A and B are shown apart, each in its own frame.
Chain A
Amino acid sequence: MKTISVFDIIGPNMIGPSSSHTAGALRIAHLARNMVKGEVASVKFILYGSFAQTYKGHGTDKALVAGMLGLSTEDHRIKDSLELARKNGLEYSFEPNMLEKVDHPNTVNILILDDKGETTQVKGISIGGGRAVIQEINGVEINFSGEYHTVIIYHKDLPGVVANITKVLSDHNINIAFMKLYRETRGSIAYSIIEADEPINEEAVNKIENLPNVEKAMLIEKF
């Protein structure tokens, strides 16, 4: 269990009204945004459970768009995020889905279309206290919180790839806190999610991306 700080109790400092339906929702969208390489052209938010039922009253819609625009949970512009999105040419839509049963009452599925025409699907849950967990990317089940500096690597599921990745991190003196490996099916695309205590520098991420059999390496700053 994560060690509790006094600032987990007197905090977070946040735009209201709800740490789960506002701050946590923004967090999911912010993390999803950082999992996309290009610029976001349009985004669709599919809301389930409690999110679907109360998203307007809780400002969940504004919070999700704010997160997609890169705002922090304390930003006073969250309230006006929809206008801000329109000004920035970001297209957005919301689809409440109250029929489909989900495991967690605060679930959102985000479909992002970037300026290169690529789609990324990210599913996340808001677990309370402003915290969130990303549970799925492009149909593959994963699990990370964004509370550590994270690098997500898309690579072929072949022997040696992971060893090369950890060698690069080791060369850059980066201590791995958590490491998880997921794959769609054996021998196809795999995702390595590495969480570190210290910031992971761009140079290390670029080196990883240039390794054989690595397709993409995304740096997700601790948020």
Chain B
Amino acid sequence: MNMVKDFISGEELILICRERDIDISRAMAERECLVFEMTQQEVWSKMERAWHIMKDSATAALKTDLKSMGGLIGGEARKIKERGEQGGNHVCGRVIAKAISYAMGVLEVNASMGLIVAAPTAGSSGVIPGTFLSVMEEMNFSDEDMIRALFNAGAIGYLIALNATVSGAEGGCQSEVGSASAMAASAITELMGGSPRQCLSAASSALSNILGLVCDPVGGLVEAPCQQRNAMGVANALISAEIALSGINNIVPFDEMVNVMYQVGTSLPSELRETAKGGMAIAPSACSRCIDYN
């Protein structure tokens, strides 16, 4: 049997999956073993560790009060959870309510110098843990299922990093939360039984929904609007998965959409690409909330 080759596009990835009748997660795990000369056990253990850090980071804010370094966030994850516990009807549904609580919690951990997994970046580190943990709990998946799904997410992120960018300074929040959202959308689609092509369609839809999303960090920090954007990223991932699993394809396939995202990103003015010189970062209320350190 042929070992999986390296791949540099969504189309190549789909070919490999079809030839070998495997999922995207398996193709990515095998690529890692092949390219970096590691055993399956080593690769799995490493991903298992990342998953455990993700879970801890998603739940830590629900257990203790975490105040951010810049003072702009802290306590949001708990508020969402408590609303549900006090009998409030989750208008966005339980899966999303749980997922955004977890996602926002990760950003609280991140902003208070806690341990997180950049996936693909620290600024977007809430999307995957939030989406994954909620779906795992609400739909009874196992840790093994989720660790496997992380390889799928990694494949999408790898293709975006290779052919476009995962840096807000280059492509705006599109490239960070947008990419994380596409990664989660694809992974959840595989988890729910979708085909590799459906996974890429989910990722493409997720990207198409956030085209033009700017990076306008208040105070230049990774707090606001980052935390709420991670919540948006979760919701975007879940709806994109739902759409793809229903057999609805995006008119623009994944590889082209990655390029679209890149073109849109690089045409954003620098004021809207992580310089804190535009967008919300210069809104009067945002400026006045920032603690002046210097």
Contacts and interface: CB of A to CB of B under 8 A. Distances in A.
Interface of A: 3-19, 22-23, 50, 52-54, 56-59, 62, 74, 76, 78-79, 96, 128-130
A59 B115 contact: no
B109 interface: yes
Contact of B113 (A7, A10, A22): A22
B254 to A, nearest CB: 16
Contacts of B166: 9
A6 B32 contact: yes
Nearest to A6: B154
Contacts of B28: 6
Contacts of B219: 54, 57
A16 B46 contact: no
A3 B38 CA distance: 14
Contact of B69 (A12, A17, A76, A128): A17
B294 to A, nearest CB: 6
A54 B221 contact: yes
- Per CB-CB distance, the 3 closest pairs between chain A and chain B, nearest first, are A16-B110, A9-B157, A6-B154
Given A23-B122, A76-B115, 5 more contacts: A6-B151, A16-B110, A16-B112, A57-B219, A129-B118
Interface string B108-120: 0111111111111
Contacts of B205: none
A73 to B, nearest CB: 10
B35 A3 contact: yes
Given A9-B158, A56-B69, A59-B69, A14 B122 contact: yes
A67 to B, nearest CB: 14
Contact of B158 (A4, A59, A78, A129): A4
A9 B43 CA distance: 14
A9 B68 CA distance: 25
A167 to B, nearest CB: 29
Interface string B4-28: 0000000000000000000000001
A222 B32 CA distance: 20
A14 B294 contact: no
Contacts of B32: 5-7
22 contacts: A6-B158, A7-B154, A9-B153, A9-B154, A9-B158, A10-B119, A10-B120, A10-B128, A11-B117, A11-B119, A13-B116, A16-B109, A16-B112, A16-B116, A17-B110, A17-B223, A22-B113, A50-B220, A57-B69, A57-B219, A78-B113, A128-B167
A19 B35 contact: no
A17 B122 contact: yes
Interface of B: 28-29, 31-32, 35-36, 43, 46-47, 49-50, 53, 68-70, 109-123, 125, 128, 150-151, 153-155, 157-158, 161-162, 166-167, 169, 183, 219-223, 291, 293-294
Contacts of B69: 17, 56-59
A75 B57 CA distance: 14
B233 to A, nearest CB: 15
Given A5-B32, A6-B158, A16 B50 contact: no
A23 B222 CA distance: 13
B68 to A, nearest CB: 8
Contact of A13 (B31, B49, B155, B169): B49
Contacts of A15: 113-116
Contacts of B109: 16
- Among A16, A50, A58, A79, residue most surrounded by chain B Cβ atoms (within 10 Å): A16
Nearest to B109: A16
A9 B152 CA distance: 11
B265 to A, nearest CB: 15
B122 A7 contact: no
A8 B36 CA distance: 12
B220 A54 contact: yes
A33 B115 CA distance: 23
Given A57-B293, A96-B294, A10 B50 contact: yes
Contact of A9 (B53, B119, B222): B119
Nearest to A56: B293
Contacts of B49: 13
Nearest to B106: A16
A199 B119 CA distance: 29
